[in-house]
Structure 1
Amino acid sequence: MGDSDLVDTLMFGEPVKKTLITTRTGEPYQPSRVYYQVFNQKTVIGAFKKLRCMQWEPRLNAWRWLYDQEARKIRFDVSWNQVPKEYRPIVLGDFYFRGSTEMVLDVRSFQRVIHAIQFFDKHINRRAARVTKLRVVNKFFDMNDQLGDEQLHPPFDYFFDREDLDLPDPVAFARELEETIQEQTDEGDRIRAFSSFLEERSKQPLPEIEEIPAHFYEDGIESLEMALTMRTVEARQHWAGNTKFTQFDLISEMVQAIRDEFGDEVEAEADEVPDQGADQETDQEDGREIQETPQEAEE
């Protein structure tokens, strides 16, 4: 395939044998783009030059992030010392400047998104650049689909520079939610309308390509990691043939798991709460990786 980061992993399923594309570090291949607002490009470039795991790639006009040197400590399913020497150093991602005020990082998995945001937050001053949003592909890829280079190799403009993206509209969302709640006069009905609104939203399948606000500096990495993990679970279910699986099903499973584990304790605590006068409802992969080639082979 010309890039040793991608590997084919055989997955046998019914009725068709699939070949899942994964990365050389073991994650399902899900192209992702991290967007940065740049306040001082010179400082950002200076930070890249200081890092031995960063290398300028003139062919792509990009700064290449390698799984080497300072980045070796990052843990993947297949970590640095498990990667065969002939495939080192693996390319983890590519940074592209878009003018002087925007920079994007293209990576091949959700796990790399999380590691990248944390890693570069330590090495790039927040006054020089800050993460603003992500664009991600919410599906797994089959090697048998005869994907073109534009779908396998960065830059990932094929996925993310297009007009049919599902872009969030927080103003429209807030307006629709407010209208739904205002239709109710009773406080209890308002709460139920709010819950029903969110439930119906969660029953909709995720868009294949989606934009997600990062909120990294306000909420930390955990909320973003959870959001991406939940999207990976839905993609995995669809890959396995359960195409009707949605975020609602996942949340229901998580709630049920909590009840199964802590049900007795929760019920005991509930018995101690004074009665408020209202009833309360409790509420395979065998695959082929995208072969990420050694740096020399890519050049």
Structure 2
Amino acid sequence: MGKKSKKKNKRRLKKTMSIRNAANRQSPAPRVEVSKDLMPQGGNEDRRLLTTMTKEIYMLARLHYDLLDSEKIHRVFLKLRCMQHDPFRDRWVWLYKAEAKRLKFKGTYKDIPIERRPIVLGAFFFRNNREMVLDLNSFDRAIKAVVFFDKYLPRKAAKVKDITFLNKFHDGSKGFIPKHQDYFDKGLEVINDLKRVTSTIENPMEKINAAYPRMMEEFQKSIPEVERMPIHFYEDGISSLKGRLSLREIIAIQHWQGNSDYSFNNVFEEILPLIPPLPKPEE
């Protein structure tokens, strides 16, 4: 190795250690808080639906980012007042304060007891040199996180790619708080990516005809407990992710209320009459 390469590597190592030391000087992060809300139980009055401190239903989600420049991401996190390094768990926590305080959830910021502020909205973990993940405790937080961090994280440094999520509500009366590692670090089902399947088809009607059989096949299946799917945020915006997560929340509500056989097919049967027919192509 030449002298120039050695000096370059030495500067890079020094720069990385400087970033980590600056992060470690921050105080330890607050812990994630949850609460228990009432909701129709399907005949079981002893259960209490587990929710977050901002009143969303507690549904685990994980955003997957392609990591292109970890040093730049660390520098951005250091500048954001809503980000705080937690050296004990080697993570960066996203706090409900400063820049993030403008986000609106079902529960307001004022609903959170003063002694519990700032609560943790999510936590970033660097899995390796190519991937980082953001763990969140609700679908709404996942949706808002995609848009929020796109404003601050340069796309040349990190790009959101996939989302993994748990299709399940939780009973808070048992005192057990589910964690991401309990579900997401095991085997999971990757759903069919209709966008990838139809990517080579240009004609809109042909694209719909190609996607329809696969959609119907998915609708017939029971919803898996854990799924991972692409987000397509840079192509489609956030509305596509919102729609897909909303469908799964509808199914989870039905399962929580005792309708365990409720599936995509039931949702499809209910919403199909509400969809206006496609206009006929001009001859």
Q: Tell me, yes or no, whether TM beats 0.5.
A: yes
Correspondence for 2:83: 54
Counterpart Cα distance in 2 of 1:124 and 1:174? 30
Asked if 1:157 is matched to 2:181, the reply is yes
One-letter code aligned to 1:106? D
Contact residue 37 and residue 131 of structure 1 kept, 8 A: yes
Correspondence for 1:119: 148
Shift of 1:201: 2.0
Q: 2:189 aligns with which of 161, 166, 174?
A: 166
One-letter code aligned to 2:104? R
Q: Percent identity?
A: 36
| CA-atom RMSD in angstroms | 3.0
How many pairs were matched up?
Answer: 245
Higher RCO structure, 1 or 2 (CA under 8 Å, sep 6+): 1
One-letter code aligned to 2:164? R
Q: Give a deviation string over 1:8-44, Cα, whole Å, max 9, x none.
A: 1133534312210000111111111111111110110
Counterpart Cα distance in 2 of 1:161 and 1:274? 48
**How do 1:2-151 residues align onto structure 2 when only pairs under 5 Å count?**
5-17=33-45, 18-147=47-176, 151=178
Correspondence for 1:235: 252
Contact residue 39 and residue 127 of structure 1 kept, 8 A: yes
Q: 2:234 aligns with which of 203, 217, 226?
A: 217
Shift of 1:197: 4.6
Counterpart Cα distance in 1 of 2:173 and 2:220? 30
Counterpart Cα distance in 1 of 2:122 and 2:32? 13
Contact residue 51 and residue 58 of structure 2 kept, 8 A: yes
Segments of 5+ residues of structure 2 without an aligned counterpart are 1-29, 199-205
Segments of 5+ residues of structure 1 without an aligned counterpart are 176-187, 260-265, 277-299
**Length-normalised TM-score, structure 2:** 0.78
One-letter code aligned to 1:167? V
Off by >3 Å, runs of 4+ in structure 1: 11-14, 168-171, 193-197, 273-276
Shift of 1:4: 5.7
